Amino acid sequence: ARSMLVHDADVCGAVCKGLEALVAAQGPSMGPVAWDSLLDIVQEAQEFLLTHEDDPAAASVAAILTVIQNLFQSGDYQGDVDRLFAVVDAQPSGIDLSIVLNYKFKSVVPTTPGWLQGVEQLLLRYLCHEQSPDIKTKVLSHIDELLAETRHVFDAELIHGPVLDVMARALPHESPTVFEQGIRLIVKICTMSEKHLDAFWGFFRATYDFFLEAQTGWSEADVLAAQTKLLVLLDALVELFRCRLMHHPPQPCLRIYSLMLHFVGRPVEPAAITPSILQAQLIAFTFLASLRWGQDARVYMSDTPEAVSPFLLVSHGRNVDPDELNAAPLQGDEDAVSLAALLQAQALCLHNNLSLTLCIVVLN
């Protein structure tokens, strides 16, 4: 029968139906030799179906592999596990890849030689080349779990290697759902260390520019998807600003602040204004309007007044000595920034009096 599978659709269908019944009835009692022979036939069927995608036998092959995976889960599969999952991975459709994904991620641990390359290959296969959004989100969940397991030991190698390289290339082109989960994971990574944030800042800026500039020739659906992802990106950057406000160095907060100013200040053609763009502008304006300073001129956000930055101060548009700045007549909490006010330009400067300044402009 195996030699006829690649030549005859009827034979292929009949054989696959027979195997489906066999596995369902006798699977737990089959030994390694029987499983090897069965997987040989399944691979022959897969080869035939590459040129006969609509053949009914495709459903039987998917059903066979699903039953075998369930046997593996229950401990009743006695064949070669690696070979099984190689065959499952080659199945083009009709099968849940969650089990093979779980198995493969369990094999990439820091004690295994070449584990970083293994993580990269899994990201390339299941994030870049997989079509199912559900599998992509599960990949990101696995990466999150792997980071938790390797934190403080191997997290830098993992983050600055395959995670940064592959996710930075793949995420901007993913669906809004996958993109949002990926961005949340990156924000979580960036809150671990300023080194991670520095590594990912290029990704944030490039993604921001991509969504704003690379829309020539895009379909309306692609433009709307990009605008939805822009909302997610801006919202994530606000969260990141909040997380890093009390930490040194302050440059990441200044970068986020500068990007938000750029966004609200960029001209938008009336025809390009959509509900998503308006919502994105609202996120940026709300962020800028939430910035406050107290009697000591240190910056905080209106909804978390207890989280005052030790490193960012408000000056009057120039760098000054911190003692001079603290002695200057600055607005106190009672006169702090409000949503209804149109404030004059102010500036953020570093507490150690570096020459890096940015203007805060808050509009109605």
Give 239-307 as a DSSP string. HHHHHHTTSS--HHHHHHHHHHHHHHHS---GGG--HHHHHHHHHHHHHHHHEEE-TT-BEEETTBTT-
**pTM, to two decimals:** 0.77
Phi-psi region of 28 (alpha: psi -120 to 50; beta: other; left: phi over 0): alpha
Query: What per-residue confidence (pLDDT) applies to 5?
Result: 54
Query: What per-residue confidence (pLDDT) applies to 346?
Result: 33
Q: Which residues of the chain have pLDDT under 70?
A: 1-7, 152-153, 214-216, 295, 314-364
Query: What per-residue confidence (pLDDT) applies to 325?
Result: 34
Residue located via tokens 């406050």: 292
Rounded to whole angstroms, the Cα distance separating 25 from 167 reads 43
Contact 96, 66 (CB under 8 A): yes
Contacts 24+ apart (CB under 8 A), 279-284: 279/231, 280/227, 280/230, 280/231, 280/234, 283/231, 283/234, 283/235, 283/238, 284/234, 284/260
Is the Cα torsion angle 192, 194, 195, 196 positive or negative in sign?
Answer: positive
Instruction: State whether residue 127 is helix, strand or coil.
Output: helix
Contacts of 278 by beta carbon, 8 Å cutoff, 6+ apart: none
Query: What per-residue confidence (pLDDT) applies to 25?
Result: 93
Residue located via tokens 């027979």: 18
Query: What per-residue confidence (pLDDT) applies to 239?
Result: 94
Contacts of 22 by beta carbon, 8 Å cutoff, 6+ apart: 38
How far from each other are the two terminal CA atoms of the chain, in whole angstroms? 76
- And the tokens for 23? 């596995």
